[in-house]
A and B are shown apart, each in its own frame.
Chain A
């Protein structure tokens, strides 16, 4: 046993230096002002930024739900493939993760821009002409005032683009924990449910979803937490109008507002919110906890 404890020392030291100490520093700054005096002003000031916090939570929640809806059937399909096909498909799922996160997000910028690849493609397909034509017809028939001069769809700098970026970047983190749980579900368990009178919907609600719960809660955590604290995705795809908590915090440390006391307080509040959310998903996930971590 003693040997086991000693093996953990390097990591414990690492944890203390790079996680515990910084956390304490963050807490210290959050509760002091620029002169080092104890104060609760920083926390009080956060109230002004409530809309940003709310937007972060909302967009992250939206991205998480979309990831879950996309990943659940995909992971099930993956887990039913033959073993060698599973390996290939899993590699394809993870393939985007091999490329730098920033590059991937830049790629979406060039795709979504107003004169970007997608809009040019739509133009080549005469999609705008079609929409303009339909709008004009509707205006004529019903007296609507729909725009008839569309030359592009505004996609970049919308909250939708931010959610898209989150889903694209974090989808594998939902698929993998679901897959690791689902691959352990035997076909005979599904057959047993059918045998006992369960139709497809009942199999889903009474067997498949309950049995995948550990994977679902792990996946939610692994998508929601990075989504709620991201600042690159929102800056690159969301423009100025979709600032998230991450951007706000970054602004306090590296940006013009330069107020690391306020930044620390924001980080602390975000951390508490995230911990609360994780607590909720993990208690609803049953006693197996985060068993599905890859």
Chain B
């Protein structure tokens, strides 16, 4: 399953006007993978994408493409195409000519261009839109044109910079699945930038969580969600309860004023740790049966579940449960050994 590395970033440093954006970022991206850069705004994810596209020149470090150094290659000589955040379609051209733009720069074979463009328009579901002006299209349609315009050139790697950011929720979900389908059908590497963790988990083979110009964790969506390497990742990917604790010995951790059995080992005796418990992994039981007891502060209906904030000692737990308790009620909480995730505490 492990494909060869197609893009390799080596020790990339970028700063804008002396302000550091990327501080020595290294990353290998494998062929035919759907990779997502995930992080809050200003974390350097878009800059990383632009370094690969050739729009940002790193101050130091190397960009390799198929093992070749392309650090100083201008964008128009790179075998990558980009889908821009604001689509960046050419308003003076119709749908067909927008998609044909890249092909026309390389070839004069009108027949081949025509068939490739029409085929790609069909793939993105815009058959029959060839003559339309791009300014008359909806956001979702413009986005499809932008994707077709990139894909028609058969790039090895397609870069997507928050391409779904401007769409409404329903359309976004549709497009997420469609992008994933396209990527698998065409077997092109997608590098996708988003700040939406759900989007990242839905589509990606590999998620790269970034913060402050550094990679926090690289892994499959499951790894990132279940085994966050630090509090930032745990907090950014889904909601979580993060508490300080002490690892007394293998399989025994103390937090929230109590000892719990867990499945983690290999820490030093009495090492200070951080404990992550996902809100949906806490079982609500009658107060006397709980490992912990707390008072329900408030209950919010979220559709599939209720979100409850429960005060226990000086910590406020977030619990997701399909049954609502009453605010002010004293409840018990149980946490199974499998549901406790332990990370070394950061200074």
Contact = CB atoms under 8 A, between A and B. Distances in A.
A197 B86 contact: no
Contact of B105 (A188, A192, A197, A211): A197
Contacts of B85: 188
Given A198-B76, A202-B105, A192 B84 contact: yes
B132 to A, nearest CB: 15
Interface stretch (B87-95, B217-225, B253-261): B87-95
Interface in A8-23: none
Contacts of A188: 84-86, 88
Given A198-B105, A202-B105, A207-B90, A192 B82 contact: yes
Given A191-B55, A207-B90, A210-B92, A199 B76 contact: yes
A129 B25 CA distance: 64
B295 to A, nearest CB: 52
A25 B80 CA distance: 66
B105 A194 contact: no
B101 A193 contact: yes
A283 to B, nearest CB: 16
B157 to A, nearest CB: 12
Interface of A: 186, 188-189, 191-199, 202, 206-207, 210-211, 213, 286
Contacts of A206: 101, 105
A266 B110 CA distance: 50
The 6 closest A-B pairs by CB, nearest first: A196-B102, A188-B88, A192-B88, A194-B75, A197-B105, A195-B82
Contact of B82 (A191, A199, A210, A286): A191
Given A191-B55, A191-B75, A197 B88 contact: no
B153 interface: yes
A136 to B, nearest CB: 51
Interface string B101-140: 1100110000000000000000000000000000000000
A186 B82 contact: no
13 contacts: A189-B90, A191-B75, A192-B90, A192-B149, A194-B54, A195-B81, A196-B81, A196-B101, A196-B153, A197-B76, A197-B102, A198-B76, A206-B105
A197 B84 CA distance: 15
B74 interface: yes
A213 B53 CA distance: 29
B74 to A, nearest CB: 7
B74 A196 contact: no
B88 A186 contact: yes
Contacts of B82: 191-192, 195
Contacts of A210: 92-93
A191 B239 CA distance: 37
A186 B84 CA distance: 11
Contacts of B76: 194-199
B153 A186 contact: no
| A interface: dominant SS | helix
Nearest to B104: A206
Nearest to A184: B91
B105 A196 contact: yes
Contacts of A286: 92
A199 B80 CA distance: 15
A286 B86 CA distance: 25
Contacts of A191: 53, 55, 75, 82, 84, 88
Contacts of B88: 186, 188-189, 191-192
A199 B106 CA distance: 11
A191 B159 CA distance: 13
A211 B55 contact: no
A262 to B, nearest CB: 46
Given A191-B75, A195-B76, A196-B101, A211 B86 contact: no
A199 B102 CA distance: 11
Given A191-B84, A192-B84, A193-B90, 9 more contacts: A188-B84, A191-B75, A193-B101, A195-B82, A196-B76, A196-B102, A196-B105, A196-B149, A197-B106
Contacts of A192: 82, 84, 88-90, 149
B106 A213 contact: no
B291 to A, nearest CB: 54
Contacts of B93: 210
A284 B36 CA distance: 45
A131 B223 CA distance: 81
A83 to B, nearest CB: 17
B73 to A, nearest CB: 12
Contacts of B90: 189, 192-193, 207, 211
Nearest to A189: B88
Nearest to A286: B92
A241 to B, nearest CB: 44
Contacts of A194: 54-55, 74-76
A58 to B, nearest CB: 31
A202 B105 CA distance: 8
A197 B153 contact: yes
Q: Which of A191, A207, A286 has the most CB of B within 10 A?
A: A191
Given A194-B76, A195-B53, A186 B86 contact: yes
Nearest to B93: A210
Contacts of A211: 90-92
Contacts of B106: 197
A203 to B, nearest CB: 9
Contacts of B101: 193, 196, 198, 206
Q: Which of A188, A192, A213, A286 has the most CB of B within 10 A?
A: A192
Contacts of B149: 192, 196
A171 to B, nearest CB: 26
